[in-house]
Amino acid sequence: MKKKWRKPIIKHGKMTKYNYLVQHPKNLKLGKNFDIGEFTYINSNYGVEIQDMVQIGSHCSIYSHSTIDNKKGPVILKKNSRIGTHSTIMPNVTIGENSIVAAYSFVNKNIPKNQTWGGIPAKLIKNWMNFIFNIWWGVLKVLEFFKQD
């Protein structure tokens, strides 16, 4: 029998039972069936939203407030987005639906939906919608070829 998924209990500055830490959990909005890896740090002082089916790797840092440069603002991880291990997300950043952040990346700008970004700072690696369009275009061309007598 499959166990029912439950949101963990989150207390300010305390490790959860899954070994990640959240500061200012009152400003953390959580969806369903998310997964946050061990030793991840979330500063939600100015708001962090983690939507349904989001996966965050271990050892990530998510900042709604950066004390180094004093930037402040919400962070939004949209549905089904994935954040690779050891990545850092800075304030005022939205990661689009179905997007992927490669491991060890530094994200300081918004990532549109259906894209893969990575690096320091993170840059576009793959636009999945263009990739899928190109595959379908190729399939149509092959079908056209075989349709000819």
Residue 136 and residue 140: Cα distance in Å, rounded? 6
pLDDT band at 145 (very low <50, low <70, confident <90, very high): low
Residue 117 and residue 25: Cα distance in Å, rounded? 27
4-34 per-residue burial string, b: 16 or more CB within 10 A, e: under 16 = eeeeeebeeeeebeeebbbbbbebbebeeeb
Residue ranges of domains in the chain, CATH in brackets: 21-147 (2.160.10.10)
Res 1 pLDDT > 70 = no
pLDDT band at 97 (very low <50, low <70, confident <90, very high): very high
The per-residue pLDDT for 52 is 96
The per-residue pLDDT for 132 is 62
